[in-house]
Structure 1
Amino acid sequence: MKVVIVEDEITAAENLTYLVNKIDASIEILTVLDSVKLAVDYFSKPTEAQLVFMDIHLADGISFEIFEQVSLNIPIVFTTAYDQYAIKAFKVNSVDYLLKPVNEEELSQAINQFKNQNVSDSSANESNIQGLLELLQTKSKSYKTTYLVHHRDELLPIKTEDLAYFYIETGIVKGVTFNNKSYMIDKKLEDIENELDPDMFHRINRQFVVNRNAVANIKFYFNGKLIMNVNPPAKERIVVSKAKASEVKNWLNM
């Protein structure tokens, strides 16, 4: 088997090379490429490579940019340092991956998998790459970090990380900080939900958007509902509907 490594970290490339040779001494490492540009130049020409190990982030950009410039019909194993949330999306897109730092046992399994299956089944097809590119763009989206709020005769910048939750009270949206100060927010709750990092903030019900760091505990309620207790305590009970219970628990369990 002939392999190409696309990796910009020298130590990571050396470690991967060492492990590959340790697992199967007959595997030939054709080259190590450390940038999008070098990869595009290399794959623009005929290659004997049968398998590619490719890091997500390279010296000059994201590796998926390679596929926008060249057609690559070679099985690919992506290496990534992404968290488990991202890894789940990799699985959904049916693209193999190795979580960095690369583990010898998992690497061996990946190599054996590609030895035993049809090459066409594991090629980096357009839909898979597009799905992962959309994932990266979502993860790198800029979320709101500050709200400028009115307070008496002045405007105060309040960091979103200092806000425990947002809620609607008699048609007015308010944000409550962790030190239990309340401020009017001149926005709709729907707009606030869309401009906050979904890993940190979640729409619990129609009245509340909650910071995960504000969640004290969740208690079981009747008919499959939940009660969420937050710090500082909310003025009204935060009820999670049965339909939304699993979603909220999955968010907190990320």
Structure 2
Amino acid sequence: MEIWIVEDEVSAAGRLKRMLLEVLPGAEIRTGLDTVRRTVKALREEGQPDVLFLDIHLGDGEVFELFEQVEVSCPVVFATAYDDYAIRAFEVNGLDYLLKPVEKSDLQRVVKKLERLSSPPLDARLLADFLQQFRQQAPVRRRFVIKRGEELKYVDVREVAYFFSEDGYIFLVLRKGERHLIESSLDALEDELSPAEFFRINRKVLLRVEAIDRIHRWFNSRLKISLKPPVLSETIVSRERVRDFKYWLERG
């Protein structure tokens, strides 16, 4: 079986490849397709693999743009960090999905289904309906505009470590330690960003798991978090959010 993994995060592509080889030892697996443009070029020049595993957000846009540029007839498995709304959309439309981070049991489920398929054409109308539904429901915020002196620059959401509120203003902190003022609110950001990637630990901080340096038990059943980069040195997980926070750490 020839499998192409379309994924712009090298570590995620490598992990999925290793897991696929455990489930399908004889599979021929291709990685390195990290943009819509490269994937379209490969499909046009080399034909279709037996299966495509597609991340949704790639280096040059959404993978859905792929289907607007080339006809795909092989089975497709989407990988998504979104949970509730995306899963409902996939299941309703009969498409396969893997929820990130991918678990081996989920991969085995998808592979078994693929092995049962004899001739699995991709229904173009079904796919078009799904793409419209997904785009209407999925979070839309993928980048932020920041100001540097007299210049405006955009940053991808994947560069953001956390957001925090201070004196009525909202700041984003990049992984490399820069702090920037943005025009938004934490409530709006919580609605716009993937709940698998970001968690609101209290009224003032919204973070991703990679921003957590250390977690300590704190007074009154709360947790204290040391952040990285340490623009905010530490913050507290409010008592009413501790249970959900622990669940998010394990399942997010």
- Is the contact made by 1:2 and 1:48 (CA closer than 8 Å) also made in structure 2? no
How far did 1:46 drift? Answer: 3.4
Matched residue type, 1:73: S
Quote the Cα distance in structure 1 between the aligned partners of 2:187 and 2:28.
49
How far did 1:119 drift? Answer: 2.8
Q: Deviations over 1:117-141 (max 9, x none)?
A: 1232xx3321232123212321358
Segment drifting more, 48-57 vs 1-10: 48-57
Quote the Cα distance in structure 2 between the aligned partners of 1:142 and 1:54.
19
Q: Computing the radius of gyration over CA atoms, which structure comes out larger, 1 or 2?
A: 1
- Is the contact made by 1:93 and 1:128 (CA closer than 8 Å) also made in structure 2? yes
The answer for unaligned runs of 5 or more in structure 1 is: 144-158, 163-196, 198-254
Quote the Cα distance in structure 2 between the aligned partners of 1:105 and 1:15.
14
Quote the Cα distance in structure 1 between the aligned partners of 2:48 and 2:30.
8
Q: Deviations over 1:138-166 (max 9, x none)?
A: 135879xxxxxxxxxxxxxxx8959xxxx
Specify which of 128, 133, 136 is matched with residue 134 of structure 2: 136
- Is the contact made by 1:7 and 1:33 (CA closer than 8 Å) also made in structure 2? yes
Q: Show the 5 A alignment for 1:77-226.
A: 77-120=77-120, 123-139=121-137
Q: Residues 135 and 26 of structure 1: is their aligned pair in 2 closer, same or farther, counting only changes over 3 Å?
A: same
Task: Work out whether 1:53 is the aligned partner of 2:38.
Answer: no
- Is the contact made by 1:95 and 1:128 (CA closer than 8 Å) also made in structure 2? no
TM-score by length of 1: 0.53
Q: Deviations over 1:7-63 (max 9, x none)?
A: 111111010000001112101113431000001101112336101101111111111
The answer for unaligned runs of 5 or more in structure 2 is: 142-184, 192-252
Q: Write out the 4+ residue segments of structure 1 that deviate beyond 6 Å after TM superposition.
A: none
Quote the Cα distance in structure 1 between the aligned partners of 2:140 and 2:37.
26
Quote the Cα distance in structure 1 between the aligned partners of 2:12 and 2:139.
27
- Is the contact made by 1:36 and 1:63 (CA closer than 8 Å) also made in structure 2? yes
Quote the Cα distance in structure 2 between the aligned partners of 1:100 and 1:34.
17
Instruction: Give the corresponding residue for 2:14.
Output: 14
Q: Residues 83 and 70 of structure 1: is their aligned pair in 2 closer, same or farther, counting only changes over 3 Å?
A: same
Residue 88 of structure 1 aligns to a residue whose secondary structure is helix
Quote the Cα distance in structure 2 between the aligned partners of 1:57 and 1:51.
18
- Is the contact made by 1:30 and 1:49 (CA closer than 8 Å) also made in structure 2? no
Quote the Cα distance in structure 1 between the aligned partners of 2:104 and 2:87.
18
Quote the Cα distance in structure 2 between the aligned partners of 1:48 and 1:134.
24
How far did 1:103 drift? Answer: 0.7
- Is the contact made by 2:48 and 2:74 (CA closer than 8 Å) also made in structure 1? no
Instruction: Give the corresponding residue for 1:68.
Output: 68
- Is the contact made by 2:44 and 2:70 (CA closer than 8 Å) also made in structure 1? yes
Q: Residues 141 and 110 of structure 1: is their aligned pair in 2 closer, same or farther, counting only changes over 3 Å?
A: closer
Using the aligned pairs only, state the percent identity. 36
Quote the Cα distance in structure 2 between the aligned partners of 1:41 and 1:103.
30
Matched residue type, 1:115: E
Residue 64 of structure 2 aligns to a residue whose secondary structure is helix
Residue 73 of structure 2 aligns to a residue whose secondary structure is coil
- Is the contact made by 1:95 and 1:124 (CA closer than 8 Å) also made in structure 2? no
Quote the Cα distance in structure 2 between the aligned partners of 1:52 and 1:76.
5
Quote the Cα distance in structure 2 between the aligned partners of 1:95 and 1:142.
22
